Structure 1
Amino acid sequence: MEHALVIGASGGIGAAMVAELQARGVSVTALSRSVDGLDVTDEASVSAHLGALQGPYDLIFVATGALHGAGQPPEKTIKALDPAAMADQFAINCLGPAMVLKHALPLLPRQGRAVFAALSARVGSIGDNRLGGWISYRSAKAALNQVIHTAAIELARSHKGVICAALHPGTVATTFTENYAARHATVHPAQSAANLVQVMEALRPEDSGGFFDWQGTRVEW
């Protein structure tokens, strides 16, 4: 791996990913909303920022995401479902990575191995859902998984060496999870980034379109 693009590079996992890749000698292009003004929910913003870059990249990693929508915390019951909050969740957790993938196609090699990966979450697994709640976040991540899986089928024809993957990083100790991590073992962002890099390096062409956790284990849909 020589050249990487990290989207959401100012967040906990995104910043750790930049540092991990640079420590491995990878040349990293880092983009974020707070530093560069990239708004992944605005296609014009995505098009302008990605259109100004020169590829190809061996890795494009999307670390954007949010648990809250329209100022609302994750729902504990369907009775709390709010349309604006749900739309916000879909915008940041599904639409954003989808727009990045759309406009990143010219930055990926037509031949040769490369990885496009986006942060998903195990709670986006329909088969693994035994607790309920968090309807908007779960649904948005499940939709993202479908985007990744579907895009992988297309890229297998147009970019034969590109592997698309949805990744579950575990519960990472960041501001993103600080209000919800009390019942879960957490991992430092630096360790999470190292784990995810190992997973991405081990992905094979037949893994494209899959959903994997931080250990490289396939997560059920």
Structure 2
Amino acid sequence: MKRGLIIGDSGGIGAALFSALEARGVTVTGLSRSRDGLDITSEESVEQRLGALDGDYDLILVTTGALEIGAHEPEKSLRKLTAEAMLAQFKVNTVGPAMVLKHAVKLLPKDRRAVIAVLSARVGSIGDNNLGGWYSYRTAKAAVNQIIHTTAIELARSHKNTICVALHPGTVQTEFTRKYVGRHPSVPAPEAADNLLSVIDGLTTAQTGGFYDWAGKVIPW
């Protein structure tokens, strides 16, 4: 792997992935809202920022996401659900990654292995949902999983050596999860980054379109 692109490299896990790749000798490019003005909820912004990049990337990682948006916290019951909260979640966690995938295709090589991955979440799994709650976040993540799977089918026709996957990093100790970690097992961001890169290293084209956790295990849709 020679070149990597991190979308959302100012966040906890995005920054850790950036550092981990640099430590491997990879030339890494990072894009974020705070530094580069990248607004993933705006296709114009995504097209402009990605359109300014040149060359092929062996790895493209979309690490953006939000659990709380504005005053909206994850819903514990159906009666707390609002259209506003759902739409906000979809803009950040579904539409944003979808626009990145759309405009990042031109940055993928056709003559060698490449990986394009989006950080999803286990709570987006319908088959693994035994607790309920968190309606908007769960639904937005389930939707982005469908985007990834469908994109993988298309890329398999035009980029036969590209692997497109959804990855669950586990519960990572970042500001993103600070209020919700509680007693759940969690890992520091650098450890989560190493785990994810180990999974990425081992992926084959036969696994494109899949949903995998930090240990490389398949997560049910």
What's the TM-score bracket when you normalise by the shorter of the two chains? over 0.9
Q: Is the 8 A contact 1:68 1:85 kept in 2?
A: no
How far did residue 212 of structure 1 move?
A: 0.2
- More deviation in 55-64 or 65-74? 65-74
Amino acid across the alignment from 1:3: R
The whole-number CA distance in structure 2 between the counterparts of 1:95 and 1:162 is: 22
1:45 aligns with 2:45: yes
The whole-number CA distance in structure 1 between the counterparts of 2:93 and 2:73 is: 15
How far did residue 82 of structure 1 move?
A: 1.1
Structure-1-length-normalised TM-score: 0.99
Structure-2-length-normalised TM-score: 0.99
The whole-number CA distance in structure 1 between the counterparts of 2:111 and 2:146 is: 24
In the TM superposition, 1:48-67 aligns within 5 A as 48-67=48-67
How far did residue 22 of structure 1 move?
A: 0.2
1:24-77 deviations in whole A, cap 9, x for unaligned? Answer: 000000000011100011000000000000120000000000001342100001
Q: SS of 2:212's equivalent?
A: strand
* Aligned-residue RMSD, C-alpha: 0.6
The whole-number CA distance in structure 2 between the counterparts of 1:27 and 1:182 is: 36
In the TM superposition, 1:6-45 aligns within 5 A as 6-45=6-45
Structure 2 residue runs of 5 or longer lacking an equivalent are none
Q: Which runs of 4+ in 1 moved over 6 A?
A: none
In structure 1, the partner of 2:74 is 74
In structure 2, the partner of 1:87 is 87
The whole-number CA distance in structure 2 between the counterparts of 1:74 and 1:126 is: 17
How far did residue 7 of structure 1 move?
A: 0.2
1:152 aligns with 2:144: no
Question: Aligned residue pairs: how many?
Answer: 221
The whole-number CA distance in structure 1 between the counterparts of 2:27 and 2:84 is: 39
Structure 1 residue runs of 5 or longer lacking an equivalent are none
Q: Is the 8 A contact 1:61 1:116 kept in 2?
A: yes
The whole-number CA distance in structure 1 between the counterparts of 2:74 and 2:203 is: 32
1:60-109 deviations in whole A, cap 9, x for unaligned? Answer: 00000000134210000110001111111011111111100000011001
Q: Is the 8 A contact 1:67 1:137 kept in 2?
A: yes
The whole-number CA distance in structure 2 between the counterparts of 1:31 and 1:98 is: 16
